[in-house]
Structures are given as C-alpha cells and as structure tokens.
Amino acid sequence: MGIKMKNYIVWLVLFLFIVFSGCSKDESNPVVPDTGGTGTVSGQVFSKNGLEKIQGASVTVENLNNSPQTFSDLEGKYTLSGVPTGSQNLLIQKGLFKSIVSVTVTEGATVNAPAAQLEASGKLGFVSGLYDNIQQIIRNNLGYSIDSLGILDLRNTALLSNYKAIFINCGADEILIYDGQGMDALTNYIQNGGSIYASDWAGEFVEFMFPDKLTIETTGMSQVITAKIVDQNLKNFIGKETVVIDYDLGGWGEVSFAGQSVTTLLSADYTDYMGNNLTNKPLAVTFNHGAGKVIYTSFHNEANVTTDAIKVLIGFLYTL
C-alpha cells in the first residue's frame, strides 16, 4: 500500500471518529433545546419552612435581559408568561429573601414550578429584650435561623458586617445608647446596607441615632386599637386595610415626631396616658439611611399579641 493511500485511510478514520463522536448523546445530562418560543410558568411562594404564603414576591427569569416579571398574590401564587422555552431558572425575591427554582418550559404551554421557599440572603441577628421576642416568630412561624447577639456586640463593626438585618427587642439593655463608639458602629452598619428592626422601647436606639427622623414618648396607654394600614405594599401583604392591635401594657413608645423622609406603615386613633384623644398617629414607621433601612414598631410579639399583629410583624420582616 502506497504512502498516499495510508495517509488517506488515516484521515478518513479520524474524520469518521469526529463525526460519530459529535453525534453521540449524553443521556446523563440531556439538554432541552430552546426553540425560540415562549411558555408560561405557574408556582407558589412560601417562607423557608413552607408554612407562610408570601404575597408580593417578585418573579423573573434569572440572567435574562428584559425578563418578564410578575408578583405573587395573597396566596403566594404567581403566573409568569413570556418565559423562553428550554431549561430556565426563576429568581423569586421579596426584600432580603430569595429563592431560585428550575423549570423546563414548553412552547405555548403552562408548566408548574416547584414550590419556592424563600431563604435569607444573609445572616439575621437579634438582641434579647424583656418584653419582646421577635426571634420566635422568625424561627417558629417562618423557619429562619437567627443568631443571638449581646448588646455590646453592636459595637463590633467587623461582626456587624456579617449580618443583613438585626432585630432589637423591646426592653433590650440600653447601655449602648450612652456609648458613642457603639452608636457610631450601628449607624455605619445601616449606612453600609444593614437593616435594623426596633420594637417599642428599643426605639430609643433609633431616636439617638436619628434625632431628626424620630421622637418617641413612652406615654401610650393600655388599650385595644383598630389600626389603619397606610403602606400599600403592607396592605397587599396582609390582605386587608385595618388590623387589631392589643397594647396589653401601658407606657408603650408613641411616635410623637416623624421627619419628612419617614414613611408611616400603620396609624390609628388612640388615647394617651393624659387622656388626650390622638388622631391618625403613627404606630409603625420606616425610613432609609444610606444603603440600609430602619423599621420602628410600637407593638410587638407579647402575651396578648393578636393574629393580625403577628401577620403585620411578618410583613415588616419581608420589607427589610
């Protein structure tokens, strides 16, 4: 056999090997082709433990420019149309909580996505207080992990940077308020993107950091109040316009002043310790500072907490 014929055979064998190798199928990792069409995806959004249905979660296609978008309803259900066919990941998010679910989309059809159970996008921490335990709702009602922090931990800038949100319970030790370094660390934490939730007497932390935004007087009287939900997003989350709040103890922190940049979440008419009938006064407020956020609530998770109040407190959590 001549040299030319040998070379020809070698090249022919190599060509056939490449062709048939390229045509072989990898059954262990099938690829669903994108036909260029679109389909529809339906699903439902829950808290991490699957017990709480989450309204108002944004649903988009991950890493897709000009992605279609929709939001979950009061039952946590959503329907997203215009999703490209093939294998897709949906990004589902509300506040600092998110989930990614994988779906295979068929052109012109509606497919059901796995349940989305929102995870915290970073660590949560709480400071214990004598009269509140928001951590119980976060753990038991929603299924999230949350770390216990000492009040002096809030002086530690490096430690704070590990947390997305910190919850300061009513009745927390107020020693930090008189510590300039500690208050500066907490203020910088918010400036850099952290969120603070403070309840009732813990509002003093907020007041000392931001005197131009909030003044609190502990002159609230024990009473049951029908509160009006002012914030539209919170109203959508709760599914109604008014809620019943039971202030079982007097001396709760009334908002006597709120700055122009402060948003009222709930308001109500009520009576203070002096017997004054107050009208349309804030019960819970929020504001931004730098890249972070602050929520103050005059009511909290206590002995006679109402079902309404628990739902509202959960709503606060998902706005952080």
233-281 residue pLDDT tens:
999 999 999 999 999 999 999 999 999 999 999 999 999 888 889 999 9
Q: Which CATH number fits domain 38-119: 2.60.40.10, 3.40.80.10, 3.40.50.720, 3.40.1080.10?
A: 2.60.40.10
- Indicate where the chain has its CATH 2.60.40.10 domain(s): 38-119
Query: What's the pLDDT score for residue 23?
Result: 43
Q: Which homologous superfamily does the CATH classification assign to the domain defined by 122-317?
A: Class I glutamine amidotransferase (GATase) domain (3.40.50.880)
Average pLDDT score over residue span 68-92: 98
Residues of the chain with CATH 3.40.50.880: 122-317
Distance CA 294, CA 255 (A): 14
Q: pTM, whole model, 2 decimals?
A: 0.86
Of 34, 37, 168, nearest to 160 by C-alpha is 168
Q: For residue 179, what pLDDT is reported?
A: 87
CA distance 197 to 199: 7
Query: Within a 10 A sphere around the Cβ of 150, how many other Cβ atoms?
Result: 12
The predicted model gives 224-230 an average pLDDT of: 97
pLDDT of residue 180: 87
Strand order in the sheet with 242-247: 147-149, 123-127, 163-168, 195-199, 292-297, 277-289, 263-271, 223-229, 242-247
| Confidence at residue 3, expressed as pLDDT on a 0 to 100 scale | 45
Rounded distance between C-alpha atoms, residue 163 and residue 161, angstroms:
6
